[in-house]
Amino acid sequence: MFARWLPAAINTRPTEWSRAAIGMALGTLLSVWLCAQVFGIQVAQHLIGPLGASAVLLFAVSSGALAQPWSILGGYLCAAVLALLVAHLLGRTLATACLAAGMALILMCCLRCLHPPAGALALILVLADPATIAMDWKALAPVMLSAATMLLSALAYNNLTRVRYPKRASEPAAVIAADHPPIDSQAITAQDLKKALAEMEAFFDVTPEDLEQLIHASELHARRRSVGEVLAPRL
């Protein structure tokens, strides 16, 4: 039971950690600075929490489904609209803030733009500071400006550091499948994985195409290992 609490191994190199850390720092700094220049430092600082969380996704795990452009833009928009609507209709209390976050989650799932930091944004906008409350519906502007700035920062930095972003889900799997065809007709495909993920009925921050790519790569390594084991006694 206690073994389940142990952290899983991180399958990235320290150089990738440094790359992501620098990108996160620069992206958050630029987003907050630009928002402060346009809407004031109080409003900008109030949004720094969700922006920092979004930066972790966009720079450290940019291949994940939760870090794609529609996720951050759609997620922030859903959370902001619902939070302001709930604040107008039900007031600004801890209970209504939690209600807004829960409603934002449902809407993000419906619109396929699930982005965890948007849940924090919904809480923050309901329990807002005086400067943000005074903006009323105009508070959508700093939210979307910050989100767009973070996204543009991720687009520029990730691609300049040779990390493809945003990720086109179907391309990598198709390339590997063409170079290394399945062993037989019963090999697992992206469609099989989609059905399996649907049957599990849980959230997974991975696309079926990513899983298919991983499976094909694993099959290739297995074939190489099998050939090596056959040739080793002869050598």
The pLDDT averaged over each successive group of 10 residues in the chain (235 residues) is 71 88 97 96 95 96 92 97 97 97 97 96 96 95 97 97 80 46 59 71 62 72 68 63
Residues 144, 199 within the same domain: no
Residue 7 in domain: no
Residues 181, 106 within the same domain: no
Res 176: pLDDT? 44
CB neighbours (10 Å) of residue 38?
A: 13
The last residue of one of the domains, among 105, 133, 160, is: 160
Question: E-assigned strands of 93-142?
Answer: none
Residue 1 in domain: no
Q: Which residue has the tokens 């495909």?
A: 189
Res 209: pLDDT? 66
| Paired tokens of 37 | 């220049």
The last residue of one of the domains, among 132, 160, 188, is: 160
Number of domains in the chain: 2
Residues 110, 143 within the same domain: yes
Please spell the DSSP secondary structure of 10-76, one letter per residue. P-S-HHHHHHHHHHHHHHHHHHHHHHHHHH-HHHHHHTHHHHHHHHHHHHHSTTSGGGSHHHHHHHH
Q: pTM score, two decimals? A: 0.76
Residues 28, 81 within the same domain: yes
Residues 153, 185 within the same domain: no
Residues 151, 194 within the same domain: no
The last residue of one of the domains, among 113, 130, 160, is: 160
Res 120: pLDDT? 97
| Paired tokens of 170 | 């179907």
Residue 165 in domain: no
Residue 95 in domain: yes
Domain span holding position 227: 170-231
Residue 6 in domain: no
